[in-house]
Structure 1
Amino acid sequence: MVHTLRHLLFALLLAALAAPAIAQEEPVSEPSEPIAAERTISDSAIAARLSDIFSEIRGLEDIVIEVNAGVVSLSGTVSQQGDGVRAVAIASRLEGVVTVEDAVERSLAVETSLSPAIANLENSLRRGWEALPLIGLALAVFIIIWIVGHLLASWKFLWKRLAPNPFLVEIIAQAIRFIALIVGLVVALNLVGATALMGAILGGAGVIGLAIGFAVRDTVENYISSIMLSLRQPFRANDHVLINEHEGKVVRLTSRATILMTLDGNHLRIPNSTVFKAIILNYTRNPERRFEFELGVDANDDPVAAMACGFAAMGALDFILREPKPDAHIKAVGDSNIVIRFMGWLNQSEAEFHKARSLAIRATKDALEEDGFTLPEPIYRLRFDGNVPALLTEAASDASAKPSAQPAPTRIPSASDVEAEAQLLDVRPDDHITEKVDEERAATGEEDLLDNERPVE
């Protein structure tokens, strides 16, 4: 009895657990009848619709249309290949069309192919004739903007107040003309509706400008250097300068090069890009210039007394400046002499540098010799490995056999010698190169970016 009751309770528990799963399953019903595939648009309606569309489009009138079970077959001839592609695209978009079979061929007849071209030409001429007033208006606007920009660029008196030199004035004027040209072209193309052409022109101009920029990179660098030099003004006309290893007097600064006249009278053109990056030594900026030279006295002489003697000799010269004072110091002590360096100052605007230095060396040397100082020559030691007494005896006999040397006759200086010496003693600066530079600047009308009214860097 208990065993039977246990089986009954187990069966009721299984039934309770299975009931929700059975309730969640939905019965699958089979369709009572098959679904019919019905077409809403008939083949004749599709053919009629395509025929009406093609009859309204030029070039598609001769296309033959056949429709069977939604499949459209196009045949016939067209004058242009694009007409057949267009017909296929139109038929494909029509409702009820399953697919399109393209059998359209292009007609190669001359009259058939020529008539569309003539029609397009006539249409273009007609539209061009109708657009003549608009083109004329755009051209008038372009000319007006260009004239206004040209007049604005010609007001150089206004730009001279804004720009520091004529070179920048010309750059501003050219920039205004270029901007006016671009603005006029853009406005004119916008008026006629040629925005695509405008974009192509601007894009092509950008590409061409980039290519030209790479091609003329050195020229552009030279041009920019000219602008910077005209702003900085590192030298004046007729300044004595040393640019890297090139020395001369400045003739002018142009938009491309700096022109020097070398000290031997030749023209030297240095690109401004080189000048802008070069080390420039200007001798004219400070008229006071120091020179120096070296003399050697005997190792047994008093070097301080020698320095005082040379100091006094240079101080007695008229072209040597009293302030700053001349100076001297011992540079080195050699095997047979003491090297003394003498230094003095002169005014380059009153004395020629190299000639004054030469006369200072002469005066110092003469003063040292008059005061008993010896300017020794190099001493060489000779070594004899043979019979020294025999060699000395032979040398003495040769010397006694030679006749005694006669003293050289005293040369009487002529008038020309006196005049030449007086000319050499004249230390006034040579103005020949300066005069040639001034003559060239006055004779030639080339542009010059040097402005004496602007401060020098």
Structure 2
Amino acid sequence: MNFDPQSIYELISGKLENWITTAIEMLPNLVMALLVMLLFYVLAKIIRKFTGKLLSRVTGNKTVTALIQTVLAVLVIGIGVFFALSILNLDGTVTSLLAGAGIIGLALGFAFQDIAANFISGILLSIRHPFGIGDIIETNDYFGTVQKLNLRNTVIRTAQGQIVYVPNKVVYENPFTNYTKNGERRIDLACGISYGDDLEKVKKVALDAISSVEQRDQDRDVEFYFYEFGGSSINFYVRFWVDFHKHPDFWSAQSEAIIKLKKAFDNEDIMIPFPIRTLDFGIRGGEKLNTMLPDTSSANGSEGNAEGGSGE
């Protein structure tokens, strides 16, 4: 093989000349493509800023806001790249990129569908805002205070102090209760009284006792309803409302109501039956013990008389 420096030089110079000629011919298109890229870059920054202001009114989650801003900005810049490639007559490259992006997106969608579902659910929860940080909620058998809402999980601190991570998809797709939303909560106390007690008296005493609970909402009346003839008692509900922002607001009011109701019943000699069989000997209309047992004194007297008679 002969090594000819002249032929190699001519080959290289020819290639360079072709490239330079092509570059000069494409220079206007190249400038136009750069201008298009610059335009879409500026447009992406404007959209990012506008989106941030808009989302700040809809959701207070800064993580979600920043993520949506970034996604929109990348999408706008990506569109600008495709336009720039089209101006440079690289339509084949654009088609290949779109096809590749579609295939990759489909594969990732199948592989990370659970993550994507949690991600989208987190965005929807942040936008709809059914609960906020510090709200007390119950979802999927977990009851506690919301500590954080990120793109994957809703973090809840239970009343026992445990941290629970609930997937956003589960929270979004299932019913949940927000106890903080209304700022108040109703307390239902169930109790029973003896069949021998005066029902009107029981109702009055119970209403007076619950009305004296300090945490009670004074704008709402205390409700009282008898609802059942039980096996050993007549059962009733007494209901009242309290302001509710934290767990102790509910528990302390409920505890105070139980104490006041028990004291009031004790003072008025109203009996709360035990959940066992109660023998009632004249306490509440029952038969007295001395009427149920045989008269032993008379029986002993008869036996004594009989012995004395035989002795004679």
Instruction: Give yes or no for TM over 0.5.
Output: yes
Change (3 A) 1:254 1:349: closer
- SS at the partner of 1:294? strand
Paired amino acid for 1:154 = K
The residue that corresponds to 1:414 in the other structure is: none
The residue that corresponds to 1:158 in the other structure is: 50
Of 231, 235, 243, 1:347 maps to: 243
- SS at the partner of 1:154? helix
Paired amino acid for 1:159 = T
Equivalent residues in 2 for 1:14-413, closer than 5 Å: 127-128=18-19, 130-133=21-24, 143-155=34-46, 156-163=48-55, 164-165=58-59, 167-168=64-65, 170-188=67-85, 190-191=87-88, 193-349=89-245, 352-377=249-274, 378-379=276-277
- For residues 166 and 67 of structure 2, the distance between their equivalents in structure 1, rounded to whole angstroms, comes to 22
Paired amino acid for 2:171 = V
> Would the aligned equivalents of 1:226 and 1:256 in 2 still touch at CA under 8 Å?
yes
> Would the aligned equivalents of 2:145 and 2:158 in 1 still touch at CA under 8 Å?
yes
Post-superposition CA distance 1:278-327 (Å, at most 9, x none): 32211112233211222222222222322221221112232233331222
> Would the aligned equivalents of 1:259 and 1:268 in 2 still touch at CA under 8 Å?
yes
Long gaps (5+) in structure 1:
1-109, 112-118, 382-457
TM-score normalised over the length of structure 1? 0.50
- SS at the partner of 1:152? helix
- For residues 152 and 32 of structure 2, the distance between their equivalents in structure 1, rounded to whole angstroms, comes to 37
- For residues 138 and 177 of structure 1, the distance between their equivalents in structure 2, rounded to whole angstroms, comes to 23
Change (3 A) 1:122 1:158: same
State the identity %. Answer: 24
Larger radius of gyration: 1
> Would the aligned equivalents of 1:146 and 1:177 in 2 still touch at CA under 8 Å?
no
Change (3 A) 1:140 1:245: farther
TM-score normalised over the length of structure 2? 0.70
- For residues 304 and 122 of structure 1, the distance between their equivalents in structure 2, rounded to whole angstroms, comes to 113
Paired amino acid for 1:231 = I
- For residues 237 and 296 of structure 1, the distance between their equivalents in structure 2, rounded to whole angstroms, comes to 40
> Would the aligned equivalents of 1:320 and 1:345 in 2 still touch at CA under 8 Å?
yes
Post-superposition CA distance 1:315-369 (Å, at most 9, x none): 2232233331222222221232222222222222596211221221122122112
> Would the aligned equivalents of 1:223 and 1:256 in 2 still touch at CA under 8 Å?
yes
- For residues 25 and 161 of structure 2, the distance between their equivalents in structure 1, rounded to whole angstroms, comes to 65
Change (3 A) 1:124 1:252: same
Between 1:153-162 and 1:282-291, the stretch displaced more is 153-162
- For residues 248 and 135 of structure 1, the distance between their equivalents in structure 2, rounded to whole angstroms, comes to 65
- SS at the partner of 1:276? helix
Change (3 A) 1:359 1:140: same
**Structure with the bigger percentage of helix:** 2
Paired amino acid for 1:235 = F
Post-superposition CA distance 1:211-232 (Å, at most 9, x none): 2222222233223223322221
- SS at the partner of 2:164? strand
- 1:126 to partner: Cα distance: 6.4
RMSD (CA atoms): 3.3
